[in-house]
Amino acid sequence: MIERVLELAKRSGRFEEFDMLLRDEQQLGLKFESGRLKETALHQEAGISFRGVCRGKVGIAGTTDLTSEQALADLLERAVASAEQGEECALAFPGPSRLPVVAVFDDAAAAVDVEHLAALGKQVIERLKKPGWQVSASVDRYVETSSFVNFAGQSFTSRATAISVGAEVTRVRGDDVLMAYDDVTGTGVPSAEDLDDVAGSITRSIERGERIVEPPDGKLPVLFTPHGCSAVLLPLHQALSGKTVLQGISPLGGKLGEALFDSAFDLTDDPLLSSRVGSRPADDEGTPSAPLPLIEGGTLRAFVYDLETAARSGTASTGHGRRTTFGKPGISFSNLVIKPGAAREEDLLKEMGHGLVVDELIGVGQGNIISGAFSHPVALAYRVDGGEITGRVKDAAVAGNAYELLKRIRMIGSAAKWLGGSRLVPPLLLDAVNVARR
């Protein structure tokens, strides 16, 4: 089908340059409530995203109607109409190149059926069955085929799979509600050990939270677990986008080569990691993938760009374009990897002495994220005294500025976790975080 659109686009003579992506995706999801299967949903969609340059202006169009010649002709007409209202931008469409080989497709995962997915959900639920624990779970399988081609001769087809198993336990005792969640996501079928890890993590969180203690107060060392790091890392993700730099709103803009964070902090975007769901041989604009160090030893090394932001910034795409069928391409990270440290949990707690462990916050992602400032109530956090967890705290909040806190990393843990299958985050022990009782 994509070859037919290529032929029509060339024959029309109306586009100086163009590219297109055909993506066929299928998602099969199961949800369990109170230990029982409650919902099964199948979603499948195939569509072409077409981008063409007419008289120097860029137009975008998409279609999910891949069955008729007329629909494809209409796609190109809409791209022309879009270009008439579009902006001029000298996109540097990539030419033909040899793409890296990266393992993102698993035959066993692609073949998994509803029965097998249900078995995975039941297995993790069985591991979490305890008196008074309400267990819910979700299992999702994703299969994707992407085909890309542009006028310059760059083309590729890639297939990818992903399976995610997540579980949540709710324990209600009077007016106290204690909840804990974890999941595992990868390109292959989770192993029994993977499910053990998910169940073990949730069990540990619930058991640690049975005893409620008074929250600490003041400027304290805080250990952010991988799940708890979101408030600290989300501003950084936005600030490293070439789009926010171009807009002049990134606090990191104009600071390449400067030492902005603790020297222990390394952050890399790596699309070539085997069996990770963010991996890819090329981005959705045909730019070949390559690892990109963003922060090395605390020094800012790079921002991420797609073709448009790169063109408007006078630089080259870093291979971070992502597109949907009907939207214009935008910037998307692949696998974000924070370099783990060597510290075990007991080392981190001993180093902390007195402080707080934050496992989950409320309201992350709201407000002016890119400024770095945050103030959030805790959803799941534990008090530490004498280097040991003494109990769960309620009615407490943490606040600070992400960019400043990442200058004060006391220690980085070794127990890094893949979140969403595409972000590797270790525990971060940060100094002088504002902790307040509510």
For the chain, counts of helices (H) and of strands (E): 10, 22
pLDDT at 368: 84
pLDDT at 63: 96
DSSP label at residue 152 = T
Are the beta carbons of 378 and 436 closer than 8 angstroms?
Answer: no
CA 295, CA 416: separation in Å to the nearest integer?
18
Q: Which of 127, 160, 155, 149 has the alpha carbon at shortest distance from 24?
A: 160
pLDDT at 438: 81
pLDDT at 115: 96
283: Cβ contacts below 8 Å, ≥ 6 apart: 271, 289, 306, 317, 319, 320, 321, 322, 332
Handedness of CA 344, 393, 423, 129 (dihedral sign): positive
CA 155, CA 103: separation in Å to the nearest integer?
18
pLDDT at 35: 85
Cα first-last separation, the chain: 59
CA 417, CA 420: separation in Å to the nearest integer?
10
Give all domains of the chain, ordered by start, each with its CATH number: 2-205 (3.30.2290.10), 211-438 (no CATH)
CA 134, CA 35: separation in Å to the nearest integer?
8
254: Cβ contacts below 8 Å, ≥ 6 apart: none
- What tens-digit pLDDT sequence spans the chain (438 residues)? 888 888 888 989 999 999 999 999 999 999 999 889 999 999 999 999 999 999 999 999 999 999 888 999 999 999 999 999 999 999 999 999 999 999 999 999 999 999 999 999 999 999 999 999 999 999 999 999 999 999 999 999 999 999 999 999 999 999 999 999 999 999 999 999 999 999 999 999 999 999 999 999 999 999 999 999 999 999 999 999 999 999 999 999 999 999 999 999 999 999 999 999 999 999 999 999 999 999 999 999 999 999 999 999 999 999 999 999 999 999 999 999 999 999 999 999 999 999 999 999 999 988 789 999 999 999 999 999 999 999 999 999 999 999 999 999 999 999 999 999 999 999 999 999 999 998
